[in-house]
Amino acid sequence: MRKLVYAAAFACALTTAIPAQAQDPKTLGIVALLANDALNIDVIAGATDAATKAGWEVKVTDTQASADQANAAMSSFAVQGVDAIFVLAFASSAIGSGLQAARQADIPVATWGGEIVDGIVVTTSGEQVGEDSVNYLLEQVGDEANILALTFHPGKLCIDRGVAFDKGVEGKPGLDITYSEITVPGQVQNGNALASAWLTRHPAGGDKPLGIWSCWDEPMTGAVAALRQAGRTDVKTVSINGSPQALQLVKDGDMTATVWQPAYEEGKQVFETILEAIEAGDSWEPKVITIPGVVVSSENVDEFMAEHPAK
């Protein structure tokens, strides 16, 4: 009788263990460019909320803008056997070994800003908000102006935005563009230093209007601080992301405009598209998601902040 009881208990344990194993949650591995950047935070939040709703777990690795760390993180996720990988703001050409590891493990990869290549099922584009930003800046300074452009080529979103900037200023010989590359970490301090040096070379009262363009908000916050330190109010400033700090600077009149990018919604839609790609299997056609942004200036900042209280 005792043997029968043990046998029955073992059989019961076996039948309960199998469904529990079958119901183990899937995992999304997120490879962040800068996990403490406001836009990265919003993208991660959007993807995480959508993944959690679908019953997935989420793991995040911060690369501090290092492509080597991004490749290492992707390879680590592949070894761990995650069910999908989401890479934030790296060019596809920079994550070749990570993509290879994911392909070998048959793990779909999504990117936030990045080219569609083998293994990537969905990405987003940053060109639209870049176009919106340069168009607004040129509305403010005209086609005869001196402009400081703060760029960042390790980041794919900044590359896309920079392409849009270049297209916007192309064929305008009256524009004198100074390109300066931001370094990360230390993007705020670097933005401050680059802007300070540029302001010294372009004193107030010159013969051309002045403007500063940044491919994302954090370097611009440093540039705005440089303007304050120099007591300058003659420079138009436009950046991209719509971070809480940038929105407040616009509201306070210290910054001309920021182009808000709907990063949370992008993260959400990317994860939902990952699910579609997994379900479709070999029949899936890679997809590019484009969601229009919003130019936030003194004209609409109060209304915008009221509509987006989380900002």
Answer whether residue 99 is part of any domain: yes
Q: What is the pLDDT of residue 156?
A: 86
Mean pLDDT score, 161-178:
97
Q: Give the highest mean pLDDT range of 18-22, 56-60, 126-130.
A: 56-60
Checking if the pLDDT of 9 tops 50, the result is no
Answer whether residue 40 is part of any domain: yes
The range of the structural domain enclosing residue 166 comes to: 127-260
Mean pLDDT score, 177-187:
96
Distance CA 311, CA 306 (A): 9
Q: Are residues 133 and 31 in the same domain?
A: no
pLDDT band at 7 (very low <50, low <70, confident <90, very high): very low
Number of domains, the chain: 2
Q: Are residues 114 and 40 in the same domain?
A: yes
Residue with tokens 């993509």: 99
Distance CA 151, CA 79 (A): 35
Give the pTM.
0.79
Give pLDDT tens digits for 100-113: 999 999 999 999 98
pLDDT band at 13 (very low <50, low <70, confident <90, very high): very low
Q: Are residues 268 and 206 in the same domain?
A: no
Q: Are residues 248 and 185 in the same domain?
A: yes
Answer whether residue 267 is part of any domain: yes
Q: Are residues 232 and 197 in the same domain?
A: yes
Q: Is 307 exposed, middle or buried (0-12, 13-18, 19+ CB in 10 A)?
A: exposed
Q: Are residues 135 and 238 in the same domain?
A: yes
| CA-wise closest residue to 137 among 241, 240, 6 | 240
Percent of the chain with pLDDT over 90: 83
Q: Are residues 255 and 141 in the same domain?
A: yes
Q: What is the pLDDT of residue 310?
A: 64
Q: Are residues 132 and 72 in the same domain?
A: no
Average pLDDT, the chain: 91
Q: List the CATH number of the domain containing 82.
A: 3.40.50.2300
Buried b (16+ CB within 10 A) or exposed e, 20-41: eeeeeeebbbbbbbbbebbbbb
Answer whether residue 14 is part of any domain: no
Mean pLDDT score, 147-175:
95
Give pLDDT tens digits for 237-275: 999 999 999 999 999 999 999 999 999 999 999 999 999
Answer whether residue 282 is part of any domain: yes
pLDDT band at 292 (very low <50, low <70, confident <90, very high): confident
* Continuous segment of H or E residues that includes residue 180: strand 175-181
Q: Are residues 143 and 255 in the same domain?
A: yes
Six token digits for residue 191: 């933005």
CA atoms within 13 A on the CB side of 89: 27
Distance CA 88, CA 261 (A): 14
Q: How many residues does the chain have?
A: 311
